[in-house]
Amino acid sequence: MNGARGKRSYDQQCALAYALDVVGERWTLLVIRELLHGPRRYNQLLEALPGIGTNLLAARLAALVDAGLLTPTEPRKRTGGYQLTDLGRSLHEPILGLSRFGLAYAAGHELPSGATARASWAVLAIEAMVDDARTGEIDESYEFRVDDEIFHVDVRAGHAEVVAGPADAPSLTVRTDARSFFSLGMRQLDPIEALVSGQVAAVGVPAAVTRCLRLLGITPDVAVSTDRLADVGPAPV
Amino acid sequence: MNGARGKRSYDQQCALAYALDVVGERWTLLVIRELLHGPRRYNQLLEALPGIGTNLLAARLAALVDAGLLTPTEPRKRTGGYQLTDLGRSLHEPILGLSRFGLAYAAGHELPSGATARASWAVLAIEAMVDDARTGEIDESYEFRVDDEIFHVDVRAGHAEVVAGPADAPSLTVRTDARSFFSLGMRQLDPIEALVSGQVAAVGVPAAVTRCLRLLGITPDVAVSTDRLADVGPAPV
DNA sequence: CTGCATCCGCCTCGATACTG
DNA sequence: CAGTATCGAGGCGGATGCAG
C-alpha cells in the first residue's frame, strides 16, 4: 500500500546516483537481465530468480513499471507478462559492462560452485566476452549449445553479434554444459583441457576454434601477445 | 562478529550476478566513483557520501579491499587513504554506462532538485556524454569550469578524452555551476536559454559551441532522441 | 493455477556516541 | 583522524493466504 512513498534515494545530482536510485536495489538488475531475452511472466521470473520472495518481485516490477523501464505486455489482463521499454533496454550495455567486470573478478577468485547454473546466463556471458576489436578479418559464425540452449555468434565486417537459435552454416559448433562454460569464461578451466576431457565438444573447422577463442578473449595462455593478427596460427589440436 | 561470514550472495553462475555480489550493495559503486578521481581518505569519502554512516563506510572499504578492488595507500599507517587497483579501475566503463542510463532516465523524469550537487560529479557526466562516434574531424579542446572544479575535453584523431585541470589552448571555455550543468545534461535546461540567462557562460570560438554540444549529444532542437540507443533491438514478438 | 498481498523473523542500514 | 559499538527502523526472505 505504500506505492512510491518513502523511496530511498541517494539524493545526489550525479548521473550514477540517479541510475542507482532506479536500478541499484537488490534484485533489480537481475530482473532486467531476465527481460533482456524477451518478455517474461511473473512465475517465470520467480523461477529464474531463486530466493527473491514473491512480495519483493511484485514490488520491484511495480517500481520498474512506474519508472518507465517496463510495461505489462497486456495492460488490462493479469495473464500477460512484462517487457522492457526502450529506456529499459538501454541498460543492455551497462549490464554487459558489469558482466565483463564480473568475469574478470571471478577469474581471480574462488567460486562458490554451489551456485545454480542456467544456460540462458551463458548468452549474456558470450555477449560480454565478444569484442569487435578482435574480429579481425573474420567472416563466419560459431554455434553454441549450452545444455538445451542454442545460440550463435555472427561475425561479419568487423562486427560480432550474438543471436538466439542455431546458425545457418557455422564453421564451428560448440557443445557443453552451463557449469563448464562459465569455468571457461572465468579462466578457471583451460579450453584445451576442456576439449581433451570432453567437458566441451567442438565440431567444425579446426582453425575456427582458435579464432573463436581469440574473439572471446580466452586464448589458452601461450597465445600471441603481438597485435599482428595474421590469419590464425596453426592450431595444434 | 560476522566478519566475512554469511556474505549475502545471489548464488548464481552468471557474470552479472558475480559482479553484483561484489559491487551490488548499497553505496558500493558510489565509493568506487569517488576513487575514480584518485586516492581519497576516509573522511573525504564520508563527506562526499552524505548519509552513508561511518560503520557502513568502514565495512564497505574493508570488503572492497578484501575483494581486491581497493588497496590502502599506506598499508601500515592509519593515516593513509584508499586507491583503486587495476581490477577496481575496470569498473570505470560500467560506471560510465550506468551514468549514461542515469542521464537518459533523468531526462524523462522530474528531479528532486533538493539533491546535493558537487562539481566533481560533472567530470563523470562529461565522460558519460562524450561519444567518440561524434568527434568527426574535430581537433580541439574544450575547457570546463564547474564551480571551482576545472577540467577539459581533448578531441584528437577521432578520440575524445576527459582530463583534469585546465586546457592548453581551448577553443572554448565554459563556466557554470554544478546544478545548471546537470540540468543541461539531463536535457531539462536548453543550452541556448542557459547562455542567454547567464547560467552558463561560454568564451572562445563561437562555432566551437555547436561542435562541443554535438560531441556531448545535447544539440538544442534537431534532437537525436533515439540516436544514442542504436542497438537494433528486434521487436519482441 | 497464476499473480500477487499479508504476516513475521532476521539482517542490513543509518544515526549517534564513543575510543585509540 | 579513522574508525568501533550500539541501537532503532526498515528492507529483505520465506511461508502462507486469497482472489481472479
Q: pLDDT tens, A55-95?
A: 999 999 999 999 999 999 987 777 789 999 999 999 999 99
Nucleotides of C under 7 A from a protein CB: 2-7, 11-17, 20
Assigned C-alpha cell, A105: 573478478
Convert the pLDDT of each residue in B83-103 to its tens digit: 999 999 999 999 999 999 999
Chain A residue numbers with beta carbons less than 8 Å from the beta carbon of B30 are 10, 12, 16-17, 20
Is the confidence at residue B27, as pLDDT, over 90? yes
Chain B residue numbers with beta carbons less than 8 Å from the beta carbon of A30 are 10, 12, 16-17, 20
Chain B residue numbers with beta carbons less than 8 Å from the beta carbon of A102 are 14-20, 22
Rounded to an integer, the average pLDDT of B8-29 is 96
Protein residue with the closest CA to the C1' atom of nucleotide D19:
A78
DSSP tally for chain B: helices H, then strands E: 10, 7
Partner-chain contact B112 A11, CB within 8 Å:
yes
Which of A148, A144, A180 minimizes the C-alpha distance to A163?
A144
pLDDT band at residue B237 using 50, 70 and 90 as cut-offs: very low
Give the pLDDT of residue A75: 73
pLDDT band at residue A16 using 50, 70 and 90 as cut-offs: very high
Which of A33, A8, A15, A34 minimizes the C-alpha distance to B101?
A15
| Mean per-residue pLDDT over chain B, rounded | 89
- Residue A126: closest CA among chain B residues belongs to which residue? B15
Is the confidence at residue B63, as pLDDT, over 60? yes
Rounded distance in angstroms from the CA atom of residue B54 to the C1' atom of nucleotide D6: 13
Give the pLDDT of residue A225: 43
Write a three-state SS string for A48-65. Answer: HCCCCCHHHHHHHHHHHH
How far does the CA of residue A135 sit from the closest CA of chain B (Å)?
Answer: 19
pLDDT band at residue A25 using 50, 70 and 90 as cut-offs: very high
In whole angstroms, what is the distance from residue A45 CA to residue A31 CA? 7
Chain A residue numbers with beta carbons less than 8 Å from the beta carbon of B57 are none
Give the pLDDT of residue B80: 83
How far does the CA of residue A119 sit from the closest CA of chain B (Å)?
Answer: 9
Q: What is the pTM of this model?
A: 0.90
Listing DSSP states for A97-141 in one string gives HHHHHHHHHHHTS---S-SB--HHHHHHHHHHH--GGG-TT--EE
Partner-chain contact B18 A102, CB within 8 Å:
yes
Q: Which nucleotide is nearest to B80 (CA to C1')?
A: D2
Convert the pLDDT of each residue in A101-135 to its tens digit: 999 999 999 877 778 899 999 999 999 999 999 99
In whole angstroms, what is the distance from residue B94 CA to residue B32 CA? 11
Rounded distance in angstroms from the CA atom of residue A43 to the C1' atom of nucleotide D14: 16
Partner-chain contact A30 B20, CB within 8 Å:
yes
pLDDT band at residue B236 using 50, 70 and 90 as cut-offs: very low
Q: Which chain A residues 28-87 have CB under 7 A to strand D?
A: 51-56, 59, 78
For A135, residues 6+ apart whose C-beta sits below 8 A from its C-beta are A155, A158, A159, A160, A215
Q: Which of A18, A93, A105 sits opposite B97 (nearest CB)?
A: A93
Vertex B53 angle, CA B124 and B55, to 5°: 115
In whole angstroms, what is the distance from residue B177 CA to residue B200 CA? 8
Nucleotides of D under 7 A from a protein CB: 1-6, 10-17, 20
Cell numbers 584523431 correspond to B157
* DSSP character at residue B151: E
Q: Helix, strand or coil for residue B189? A: coil
Convert the pLDDT of each residue in A164-223 to its tens digit: 999 999 999 999 999 999 999 999 999 999 999 999 999 999 999 999 999 999 986 554
Chain B residue numbers with beta carbons less than 8 Å from the beta carbon of A94 are 94, 97-98, 100-101
